[in-house]
Amino acid sequence: MSPGRGAQADGWLRAMPVVFVLIWSTGFIVARYAMPHAPPLKYLAVRYALSAVALCLWARAGAAVWPRSRTQVLHLAITGVLMQAGYLGGVWAAVKAGMGSGLVALLVGIQPVLTALWLAMHGGRVTARQWVGLLLGFAGLALVVWRKLGQGGEVNALTMSLAVLALLSITVGTLYQKRFVAPCDVRTASAVQQIAALAVTLPLALWLEAQPIVWNAESIGAMAWSVLALTLGGNSLLYLLIQRGTATAVTSLLYLVPPCTAVMAWLLFGEPITALTVAGIALTAVGVGLVVRQR
């Protein structure tokens, strides 16, 4: 590799976390556009189907290598069910059932702490500096979404169960992928994950949801962004980050998603950003920096 190409590749690797956070943060923005026009599981089933087709075409165009062993395919399918069907299905269904997006974000934002606790309990090494960063990140996250809490009717057995399902799914899925999924082409790996998520979500959507999807400019635009940016871009970056980094460092990046979403909502929808939001964003950035900073 020439020095120029080496520097370009190194710059892209450093930019990957930033690009991932920006793309991943648009998930709640897309939900705001799509939720009034579609039930969550049917919307996600269409998204998984279109994403699988797009990834297969991308893999074919680039002559990507598919996983060769059944074991590897099984591991990828399990991560797809957990990190796609379980996580996204839980979040979207909880919001549809009445839980505010701020409260869902706060509950799912506990994931880095659960990941660190799991690693510490099973012989993993989480330094004192990383623990401080995780706690600071969670405190900053709480400040950002605090103004959205306490709204009546949000919390009941159903909404809490769905939010906890999303939290456990993304946590277990991240740890499982880091432990069992061997490095392979991100295009074919993501395609297997999307197909597995579709296989689980579609029967549930047909069984549980009678409301049809209303296709209009907002729902079509949200679907296009979900497939092209969130799946092909965000999910692929998450896969690469998990393969290249530690589970604690990667999941700590998710602390930055709610603050970034708050900024996007302010720019696009005029939602106010309070002094607590600004303080939370700064505190979260410091916490993530402590977790991911190399010695």
CA atoms within 13 A on the CB side of 110: 15
Quick one: how far is CA 222 from the chain centroid? 16
Report the 10 Å Cβ neighbour count for 186: 20
The residue written with tokens 């969670």 in the block is: 138
Q: Which residue type is seen at 222?
A: A
Predicted pLDDT of residue 254: 72
How far apart CA 95 and CA 169 sit, in angstroms, is: 17
Give pLDDT tens digits along the chain (295 positions): 455 555 454 555 566 778 888 888 888 778 778 878 899 999 999 999 999 999 999 999 988 999 989 999 999 999 999 999 999 999 888 878 877 666 677 778 777 777 777 877 777 677 888 888 888 888 887 777 776 665 556 677 888 899 889 989 999 998 898 889 888 888 999 999 999 999 999 999 999 999 999 999 989 999 999 999 988 888 778 777 777 665 566 667 777 777 787 788 778 877 677 787 788 778 877 887 777 665 5
Backbone angles phi, psi at 101, to 5 degrees: -65, -30
Which helix (H) or strand (E) covers residue 288, if one does? Answer: helix 275-292
How far apart CA 293 and CA 295 sit, in angstroms, is: 7
DSSP-derived 3-state class of residue 106: helix
Which helix (H) or strand (E) covers residue 104, if one does? Answer: helix 101-108
Predicted pLDDT of residue 136: 87
Q: Would you say 271 and 231 are in contact if contact means Cβ atoms under 8 Å apart? A: no
